[in-house]
Copies of this chain bind each other. A is one copy, B any other.
Amino acid sequence: MKGIQQQALVRGLSVMIIFAGEGDAAVQAKAIQTVIERSVMGILLVAIDLDPANETLLESANIPFLFISMTLKNSEFPFISSNDFDIGYQATKYLINKGHRKIGFIATDLHSFIGNLRYEGYRDAMRDNQLEFNEDWVRHGHFTYSDGVSAMKHYGKDTELTAMIASSDLAGIGILNQAMSYGMKVPDRLAILVVDGTYLCDIVRPKLTSLTQSFFEMGAKGMDMLVSESFKDFYSMYTPIKITERESV
């Protein structure tokens, strides 16, 4: 997919990629038919932080659109997403309830709208529990595996932190691997809570405890809305979040 994307960038993205897969003949037929008829009936923008310059273009398309997994500053556009303030707040509160006082907040893009909301959630949860924190406990990043690794390297094996919140499953695995290579026991020496809760949490050892987002529901609800009677029925909504306890806290 990366290879396709890079070339698409150079050549102009006018290729439809079909990977509905799973060998269902009816789905395949529908997908091909759609391309033949050019009958696209809606646009789902998944996890895209839209450039302001493109807002007008999108509005002019006269095709229903909806943002999935992305809270928007521009409140005119409908989105289906988690409440990112709550993500930061609930994750932090969960760790505090487990007895942690020195909690790191790792790999969130603090320059983004959603990153800021999560940070505010973290900050408010700490303050509401009369806990101090310093800015070094908060590590800016882009949700990547290597953000997790480099954060752990920055803190080192003697870190005063007893718990970390990673802003993605992959960032949490980066923290985990680096901590284990230091010989630190997870969760005894260091607890790790990751945000997202995809299948990745289940295939690493120890399994990662997560603040789980409802990605499936976001997608299904988004499709429902796109095929609803009227574009005017579109509204923004939050899908539920929850803590999934596994083995890392």
Contact = CB atoms under 8 A, between A and B. Distances in A.
Interface of A: 1-9, 11-21, 23-36, 38-51, 53-54, 57-58, 60-63, 68, 145, 170, 173-174, 177, 180, 199-200, 203-205, 215-224, 226-227
A27 B7 contact: no
Contacts of A11: 223, 227
B34 A47 contact: no
A198 B170 CA distance: 14
A32 B59 CA distance: 10
A49 B23 contact: yes
Nearest to A7: B223
Nearest to A203: B173
Given A3-B223, A15-B41, A145-B199, 9 more contacts: A7-B227, A13-B20, A13-B27, A13-B34, A14-B41, A16-B42, A28-B50, A32-B43, A36-B61
